[in-house]
Chains A and B, each alone.
Chain A
Amino acid sequence: MKQDRIIHAALTVVALSAIGGLALITAFIFKEGLPLIVKVGAGKFLLSSDWYPTEGKFGIFAMIVGSLAVTAGAMVIGAVFGLGCAIVLTQFCPRRAAGLLKPAIELLAGIPSVVYGFMGVVVLVPLIREHLGGPGLSVLASSIVLGIMVLPTVTSISVDALQAVPRSYWEGSIALGATRWQTTHRVMLRAARSGIVAAFILGMGRAVGETMAVIMVAGNMLDVPTSPLDAVRTLTSNIALEMGYAAGEHRQALFATGVVLFVIIMVLNAVALHVSRRRGERAAA
């Protein structure tokens, strides 16, 4: 009995330290970043595209648009390919596909972001520059690279969602004479809808958070992008690029950018949670 109590105490100490440490990070980022947002004014900080740290001007609008553009583009690719692979893995020829496709996707997930960025620079950017114009370093390049990077996330969560649909739905539909594709898109995808939406949202979160690959292919220009071929800077790359030499208010502004990122991720996660919880309720009903 006594031994159990000691173990319980030891576990508590470790767990609370871990949780405390993580909470500390959250508090820290907010502590360093919020004062600057308050000082500059949230509206100005978020909506002004004047980022001149040396003059004390901190407006991250251009970077917010940059992140949004790049993420949206990434999701087009990530959602289509990711969901497509998930459907192949679960609905059409699962065994044959699984042997090659599943490990392939897991390996794609394991490739370091710097390698992706590198491939983007060496292969994709010249292609874009030659055939579509512009500097090559662009929203388009970033979207393609990020799309491939979030594909594994979208696929794995979608696969989970599709596999959670009761087999009886599939069998019932086929028994009524529907083709496999009809069953897939009218029954299975419908039933797994909230899980798939959650997959997309979490994929978005991944795309928003990516730093290194984007630095390498996005061009890092501080203007609001007007076309997919424009170079762009995202919130994450801004922090990475300037942290090394930022000081004082500048550094605080980078932390403030971190706060914005934090909030974006929190919102995305909350939405994903809400969406998948609704599925649970509906399934139970």
Chain B
Amino acid sequence: MRLAPAHTQRLVVAGLWVLAAATVGVLMFIAAFILLRGLPQVTWQFLTDEPHRMGRAGGIFPIIVGTLLVTGLAVLVAAPVGVITAIYLTEYTREGRLTAIIRFGADCLAGIPSIIFGLFGFVFFVITLGMGLSALSGALTLSLMVLPTIIRTSEEAIRAVPASYREVSYGLGSTRWQMVTRVVLRSAMPGIGTGVVLAIGRSISETAAVMLTAGSALRLPRSLLDSSRTLALHFYTLSREGISMSNAYGTAAVLIVAILGINVTAYWLMRRFIGKMG
């Protein structure tokens, strides 16, 4: 039965809207499911107390600290290194076979399962370098994991800056570094920022690699060489081993709120930046 084009369109559009609604619906469902069960658990006590009895009771304070240590350090290392590498690849080297290979390699590594980074981190940082299961091992492993993503997104943001801007800058007597920092980076900042936010999101959500390198100690880490647990790993452990569903929900709620917060802050920062530059 052939329908008139107008009918087909109506059907298809209806179908598409169903898909879109379903997508939004899934998000709402997940968010509501976790937050409704979890937010009530998130009391001041929960946030500041230590876990007791393997997490059956108590709070998640050491885990929050652990997450900050591991994730924070990972991004603190990966962001500057990644942006500098991207600058180097775009502004300081000529486009050729070598840069194409590096780009392909970075794309591949950005897609490699995090578990493989975990493998590497375990053998290299934990064992070979002797750092043991520690926040440092975890952070360094995570930084390697998000480095390719930061390099690629920064590189694309930098390349999007029009060549004419660079020429104008040189024409006005700038050095290459002045041109890169004052013109290119300034214009590429929103794109670079997006990449860094993605990296933060990925680090904070990461479980497998963290499990293998940072360990899962419940004590408050006193230094970077102490093992520590992250929110995502804690949630996984609590729920999978049935230790405490209510605490699991609470942990998940904190995690989701944190991610939401990071995304919103980043969005707001980008808005301000772009607003400044029109």
Contact = CB atoms under 8 A, between A and B. Distances in A.
Interface in A15-33: 15, 17-19, 21-23, 25-26, 28-29, 32
A7 to B, nearest CB: 5
Contact of A97 (B20, B106, B124, B151): B20
Interface string A127-146: 00000000000000000000
A162 interface: no
Given A118-B239, A180-B9, A104 B23 contact: yes
Interface in A235-264: 236, 239-240, 243-244, 254-255, 258, 261-262
Contacts of A26: 105, 109
A23 B238 CA distance: 36
B225 interface: no
Given A111-B30, A211-B113, A262-B112, 13 more contacts: A3-B175, A14-B81, A25-B144, A81-B19, A108-B26, A108-B27, A112-B232, A112-B255, A116-B30, A182-B9, A205-B111, A240-B118, A258-B116
B20 A18 contact: no
A212 to B, nearest CB: 5
B208 A211 contact: yes
Interface stretch (A48-56, A163-171, A265-273): A265-273
A85 B204 CA distance: 27
Main secondary structure of the interface of A (DSSP, over half): helix
B234 to A, nearest CB: 10
Interface string B21-33: 0111011001101
Contacts of B119: 29, 239, 243, 254-255, 258
A47 interface: no
Interface of B: 5-6, 8-9, 12-13, 15-17, 19-20, 22-24, 26-27, 30-31, 33-34, 81-82, 84-85, 87-89, 92, 102, 104-109, 111-120, 122-124, 144, 147-148, 151, 175-177, 201, 204-205, 207-208, 211-212, 232, 235-236, 239-240, 248, 252, 255-256, 259-260, 263
Contact of B108 (A106, A108, A117, A269): A269
A111 B235 CA distance: 13
Contacts of B148: 22
Interface of A: 3-4, 7-8, 11-12, 14-15, 17-19, 21-23, 25-26, 28-29, 32, 80-81, 84-85, 87-88, 92, 97, 100-101, 104-119, 121, 123, 148, 151, 178-182, 202, 205-206, 208-212, 216, 236, 239-240, 243-244, 254-255, 258, 261-262, 265-266, 268-270, 273
Kindly name the residue among B20, B22, B81 whose own CB sees the greatest number of chain A CB atoms within 10 A.
Answer: B20
A236 B23 CA distance: 26
B92 A209 contact: no
A123 B32 CA distance: 13
Contacts of B263: 106-107, 110
A124 to B, nearest CB: 11
Contact of B20 (A7, A88, A108, A205): A88
A92 B111 CA distance: 31
A243 B118 contact: yes
B208 A240 contact: yes
Given A113-B205, A179-B6, A265 B19 contact: no
Given A19-B85, A29-B116, A181-B12, A111 B256 contact: yes
Contacts of B31: 107
B226 to A, nearest CB: 19
B75 to A, nearest CB: 15
A32 B116 CA distance: 12
Given A15-B88, A107-B263, A240 B19 contact: no
Given A84-B16, A88-B17, A115-B235, A265 B23 contact: no
Contacts of B81: 14, 17-18
A23 B114 contact: no
B278 to A, nearest CB: 21
Given A19-B85, A25-B117, A85 B19 contact: yes
Contacts of A261: 112-113, 116
Contacts of A113: 205, 207
Nearest to B235: A114
A33 to B, nearest CB: 9
19 contacts: A8-B92, A15-B85, A23-B105, A92-B16, A104-B23, A110-B259, A111-B30, A112-B235, A112-B259, A119-B33, A151-B23, A206-B111, A209-B114, A243-B118, A244-B211, A262-B112, A262-B116, A266-B108, A273-B104
